[in-house]
């Protein structure tokens, strides 16, 4: 399941992020890569323990916590502290799969979902598409600044080399209460349908109440908390 979330950050927030990130230090992005990914990765990154990364990451997490579409799609249990990267001309990231487990201090996160929050508008760079592979083929993702894409961390994916300009983003992983992508997709479809039906007939309608009960009972069956 590949899902786009619009306007996770406002235009003013994106501008503030870019202003502050432009004044910070960047390091080789391979510092957070596993052995396989390190051979494929060519980008720059704000150090994971940099105060600015933590501060901006908290803003991202706050925005996600207020975003019903994110909660519905991810059913988050834990969200890895957001990191920040940039791809300048000639940089890219060859095909890889994200590490199954990530560490932040003593806390371990199972990476069920990967997230990329774009901080550069598409017209400001050429190349740099996030290309996600699944059973239906390849999907090129290049979103407006402030928009975010969620996709299964099990997916093969890559970032096409930058031809012109620079692509900045925040990236991180989510441990979901429901680890199965297929089950999360079903729950997300149910939640979307319930919300649409509720808008037409009201939340107190018997059909809405029944469907909502089934939705929550499925979460009870499948959730790991």
Please enumerate, by residue number, every residue annotated as part of a binding site for 2-oxoglutarate. 167
In order, the DSSP letters of the chain are: --EEE--SS-HHHHHHHHHHHHTS--EEGGGG--HHHHTTEE-EE--TT-HHHHHHHHHHHHHHHT-HHHHHHH-EEEEPPPEEEEE-TT-EEEEE---SEEEETTEEEE--EEEEEE-S-GGGEEE--EEEEETTEEEEE---TT-EEEEETTS-EEEPPEEEE-EEEEEEEEEESS--HHHHHHHHHHHHHHHHHHHHH-TTSHHHHHHHHHHHHHHHHH---
Which residues pair with residue 133 across a beta bridge?
138
Binding site, by residue number, is 96, 98, 157, 167
- Residue 193, by phi and psi: left (phi above 0), alpha (psi -120 to 50) or beta? alpha
| CA atoms lying within 13 Å on the CB side of residue 207 | 11
CA 15 to chain centre: 20
Binding site for Fe cation, by residue number, is 96, 98, 157
């Amino acid at each position: 399941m590949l899902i786009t979330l619009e306007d996770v950050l406002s235009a003013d927030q994106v501008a503030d992020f870019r202003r502050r990130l432009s004044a910070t230090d960047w390091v080789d992005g391979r510092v957070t890569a596993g052995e396989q990914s390190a051979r494929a990765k060519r980008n720059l990154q704000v150090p994971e323990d940099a105060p600015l990364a933590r501060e901006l990451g908290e803003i991202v997490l706050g925005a996600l916590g207020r975003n019903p579409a994110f909660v519905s799609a991810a059913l988050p249990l834990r969200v890895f502290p957001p990191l920040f990267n940039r791809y300048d001309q000639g940089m890219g990231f060859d095909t890889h799969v994200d590490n199954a487990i990530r560490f932040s201090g003593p806390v371990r996160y199972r990476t069920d979902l990967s997230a990329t929050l774009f901080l550069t508008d598409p017209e400001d760079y050429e190349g740099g598409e996030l290309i996600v592979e699944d059973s239906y083929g390849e999907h090129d993702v290049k979103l407006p600044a402030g928009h975010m894409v969620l996709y299964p961390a099990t997916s093969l994916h890559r970032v096409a080399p930058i031809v012109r300009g620079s692509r900045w983003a925040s990236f991180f992983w989510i441990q979901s209460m429901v680890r199965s992508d297929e089950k999360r997709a079903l729950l997300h479809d149910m939640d979307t349908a319930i919300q649409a039906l509720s808008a037409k007939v009201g939340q107190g309608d018997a059909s809405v109440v029944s469907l909502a009960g089934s939705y929550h009972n499925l979460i009870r069956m499948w959730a790991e908390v």
